[in-house]
């Protein structure tokens, strides 16, 4: 987790420099893409921070944004 | 979602005053199902999560995705909100 924070800080610092700006990716290449063809989301059951199990089915009828942190 | 242990996430959220709901896939049950796990054995983050976004509609269907090749990349919030709105979120 500390490493993830360090990476984030390095990233912020890098973006702030002109040299790093030249290395930025094409913004058009970093976009959400329609999932074609759409497929049923795989079910999951994971513990949250209170120990409660979170299931995809808990959100039935709602739009859900699932975001995987790239932590290591 | 994160591959970190619940205790790690708990400490991280308290230290950084994060209020987002977090869940732990420490046993790597969800990551492979979403094709969001690094499987390159040469990678220093082998068996950890790729940075990835999935928007699931009200019927439980995946409608929008983005799996980052580079874990340092982040989507812009506006881009995520746009996809959410196109999925029917108000």
Rounded to two decimals, the ipTM of the complex is 0.89
Whether A70 and A4 have beta carbons less than 8 Å apart is answered as yes
Same domain, B39 and B80: no
Domains contained in chain B, number: 2
Could you list the residue range(s) of the whole structural domain that residue A26 is in?
2-59
Tally of residues, chain A: 72
**Model pTM?**
0.77
pLDDT band at A6 (very low <50, low <70, confident <90, very high): very low
Domains contained in chain A, number: 1
Structure tokens at B34: 């979403």
B19-30 per-position pLDDT tens digit: 888 999 999 999
Whether A44 and B33 have beta carbons less than 8 Å apart is answered as yes
Same domain, B45 and B1: yes
| Residues 18-47, chain A, touching B (beta carbon < 8 A) | 25, 27, 30-35, 38-42, 44-47
pLDDT band at B31 (very low <50, low <70, confident <90, very high): very high
Q: Do A32 and B75 touch (CB under 8 A)?
A: yes
How far is it, in rounded angstroms, from Cα B64 to Cα A35? 5
Tell me if the bond preceding B83 is cis, omega within 30° of 0: no
Q: What is the mean pLDDT of residues B4-32?
A: 93
Could you list the residue range(s) of the whole structural domain that residue B9 is in?
1-50
Residue A42's CB is within 10 A of a number of other CB atoms, namely 16
Q: What is the DSSP string of B50-80?
A: PPEEEEE-TTSEEEEEEE-SSTT----HHHH
Strand partners, A68: B52
């Amino acid at each position: 987790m500390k490493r993830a924070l360090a990476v984030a800080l390095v990233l912020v610092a890098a973006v702030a420099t002109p040299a790093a700006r030249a290395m930025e990716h094409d913004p058009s290449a970093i976009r959400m893409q329609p999932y074609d063809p759409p497929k049923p989301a795989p079910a999951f059951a994971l513990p949250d921070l209170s120990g409660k199990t979170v299931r995809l089915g808990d959100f039935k009828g709602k739009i859900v944004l699932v975001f995987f942190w790239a932590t290591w | 979602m994160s591959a970190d242990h619940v205790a790690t996430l708990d400490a991280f959220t308290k230290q950084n005053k994060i209020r987002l709901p977090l869940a732990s896939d420490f046993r790597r049950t969800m990551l492979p199902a979403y094709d969001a796990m690094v499987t390159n054995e040469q990678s220093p983050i082998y068996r950890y999560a790729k940075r990835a976004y999935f928007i699931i509609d009200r019927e439980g269907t995946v409608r929008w995705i983005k799996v980052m090749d580079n874990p340092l990349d982040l989507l812009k919030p506006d881009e995520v909100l746009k996809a959410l709105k196109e999925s029917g979120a108000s």
